[in-house]
C-alpha cells in the first residue's frame, strides 16, 4: 500500500487541485481519499458533496468550569492561566474559546472551585463516497484545539479501509504549513508530493515541508505549479538537485483551474484537454510508477 500526502509549506499553491485530480486519475489504483485540513476543508466542495453517509461527532474539548458558590474571587486562577483564558470584571470568567483544558487553574484554586469538563464536542468527521473512492473529511468547530488529533482520527478511519481490503492506497490532502495537522498527515505516510510555485517564498516553504517529510521518513517528490509564472527563477530546480529530489511534474498557469473550482469539479473532469490537465495526467503516470 501507499499513503501519499499532498503537502506544501504554504497555502494556495494548488494542493487540492493536485489531490482532487490525482484522485480521479488514480481511481483504478483502488484509492481512498482523505481531506486532512480540519480547519479549512475544501475537497468536498471540489467533489460537490452535500450529503454524508456518516457523520461522527468529535468530542475532544476540555474546558474549565467555575463553581461560583465556592469561588471567593481571589484571582489566583487568572494569574496561573498562560492561555489568557481567564479574565475578571465583577467576577472571574472563562473565555471558552481560549481554554485548552490544561487544568492549571484547578491546581492553584485554594477553594476547589474549578472543575475540568472533558469530552465536549469540538468537531465532526464526515464519511462519503465519491466515484473515485471512499472519502473522509472533517471540520473543527470554531476556536477548538487538537486539529492534529482530528486528522489522526480521520487517517485511522481511512487506514481501516485498507485493512478491510476496501482500498489499497490513500491520497491525503494535507493542510498548509508544517503544524499539527501536517505532522499528523505525514506521520506514517509513504510518499509526499510537495507542491511549490517558482517563487522565493514558496521555495522557503517547500524547504520546511521537505524537512518535515525527511523527519518522518516519507519519500518526497516535487510538483511545480504555475511553473511558467516566473521564468527567470530556477530555485525549485536547484533545491531539487541539491537534495536529490525528483520533480515529477510541472503544471503551467491555467485559467481553467479557478473555473473548475467555481463549477465544483475536479480539474481533469471539468477541462480534461486543458494544458494543466495534461500536466496532471503526466504526473499521475509518474505516481502510478511508485504505486506499482
Ligand atoms: S484549564 Fe488551563 S487554559 Fe483553561 S482556564 Fe484553566 S488554566 Fe486556562
Ligand atoms: S482561584 Fe478559585 S477561588 Fe480564586 S478566583 Fe479562581 S476560581 Fe475563584
Condensed to tens digits (0 to 9), the pLDDT of residues 157-202 reads 999 999 999 999 999 999 998 999 999 999 999 999 999 999 999 9
Average pLDDT, the chain: 95
Q: Are residues 101 and 130 in the same domain?
A: no
Answer yes or no: are the C-beta atoms of 15 and 202 closer than 8 Å. no
Q: Which residues line ligand 2 (CB under 6 A)?
A: 66, 71-77, 92, 109, 111, 113-114
Q: Residue 73 pairs with which residues in a beta bridge? A: none
What is the residue with the minimal CA distance to atom 2 of ligand 2? 109
Q: Are residues 188 and 129 in the same domain?
A: yes
For residue 167 the three cell numbers come to: 482500498
Q: Are residues 45 and 160 in the same domain?
A: yes
- Provide, rounded to the nearest whole percent, the portion of the chain with pLDDT above 70: 100
Taking the C-alpha atoms of residue 213 and residue 218, their distance in angstroms, rounded to an integer, is 5
pTM over 0.75: yes
86 lines ligand 1 (CB under 6 A): yes
Q: How many CB atoms lie within 10 A of CB 271?
A: 19
What is the residue with the minimal CA distance to atom 8 of ligand 2? 71
Which secondary structure element, helix H or strand E, spans residue 277, and what is its range? Answer: helix 275-291
The boundaries of the domain holding residue 107 are 68-112
What is the residue with the minimal CA distance to atom 6 of ligand 1? 105
Ranges of H-type helices in 167-271? 180-186, 200-215, 235-242, 256-262, 267-270
Q: Are residues 165 and 212 in the same domain?
A: yes
Does residue 63 form part of some domain?
no
pLDDT on residue 147: 83
Domain count, the chain: 2
Q: Residue 170 pairs with which residues in a beta bridge? A: 3, 32
Does residue 117 form part of some domain?
no
Q: Are residues 131 and 90 in the same domain?
A: no
Q: Are residues 87 and 182 in the same domain?
A: no
Q: Are residues 217 and 260 in the same domain?
A: yes
Tell me: pLDDT of 9 over 80. no
Average pLDDT of the residues in 54-67: 95
Tell me: pLDDT of 5 over 90. yes
Q: Which atom of ligand 1 is nearest to the CA of 95?
A: 5
pLDDT on residue 103: 97
Query: pLDDT digits over 224-282, tens only?
Result: 999 999 988 999 999 999 999 999 999 999 999 999 999 999 999 999 999 999 999 99
Tell me: pLDDT of 1 over 90. no
pLDDT on residue 259: 97
Q: Are residues 216 and 108 in the same domain?
A: no
Q: Domain with 103 in it: what CATH number? A: 3.30.70.20
Distance 13 CA to ligand 1 centre (A): 37
Q: Which of 61, 62, 64, 92 for a ligand 1 pocket mutation test, highest count of atoms within 8 Å of Cβ?
A: 64
- Residue among 51, 47, 50, 53 nearest 132 (CA): 47
Amino acid at each position: 500500500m501507499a499513503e501519499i500526502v499532498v503537502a506544501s509549506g504554504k497555502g494556495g499553491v494548488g494542493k487540492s487541485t493536485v489531490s482532487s485530480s490525482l484522485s480521479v486519475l488514480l481511481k483504478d489504483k483502488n484509492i481512498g481519499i482523505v481531506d486532512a485540513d480540519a480547519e479549512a476543508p475544501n475537497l468536498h466542495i471540489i467533489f460537490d458533496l452535500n450529503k454524508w453517509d456518516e457523520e461522527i461527532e468529535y468530542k475532544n474539548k476540555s474546558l474549565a468550569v467555575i463553581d461560583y458558590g465556592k469561588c471567593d474571587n481571589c484571582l489566583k486562577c487568572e494569574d496561573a492561566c498562560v492561555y489568557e483564558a481567564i479574565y475578571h470584571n465583577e467576577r472571574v470568567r472563562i473565555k471558552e474559546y481560549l481554554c485548552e483544558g490544561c487544568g492549571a487553574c484547578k491546581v492553584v484554586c485554594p477553594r476547589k472551585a474549578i472543575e475540568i469538563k472533558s469530552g465536549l464536542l469540538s468537531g465532526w468527521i464526515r464519511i462519503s463516497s465519491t466515484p473515485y473512492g471512499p472519502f473522509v473529511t472533517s471540520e473543527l468547530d470554531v476556536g477548538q484545539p487538537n486539529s492534529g488529533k482530528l486528522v489522526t482520527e480521520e487517517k485511522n478511519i481511512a487506514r481501516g479501509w485498507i485493512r478491510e481490503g476496501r482500498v489499497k492506497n490513500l491520497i491525503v490532502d494535507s493542510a498548509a504549513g508544517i503544524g499539527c495537522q501536517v505532522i499528523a498527515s505525514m506521520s506514517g505516510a509513504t510518499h509526499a508530493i510537495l507542491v511549490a510555485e517558482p517563487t522565493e517564498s514558496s521555495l522557503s516553504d517547500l524547504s520546511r515541508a521537505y524537512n518535515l517529510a525527511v523527519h518522518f521518513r516519507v519519500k518526497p517528490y516535487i510538483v511545480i505549479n504555475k511553473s511558467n509564472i516566473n521564468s527567470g527563477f530556477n530555485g525549485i530546480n536547484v533545491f531539487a538537485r541539491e537534495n536529490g529530489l525528483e520533480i515529477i511534474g510541472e503544471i503551467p498557469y491555467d485559467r481553467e483551474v479557478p473555473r473548475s473550482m467555481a463549477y465544483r469539479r475536479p480539474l481533469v473532469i471539468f477541462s480534461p484537454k486543458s494544458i494543466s490537465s495534461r500536466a496532471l495526467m503526466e504526473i499521475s503516470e509518474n505516481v502510478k510508477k511508485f504505486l506499482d
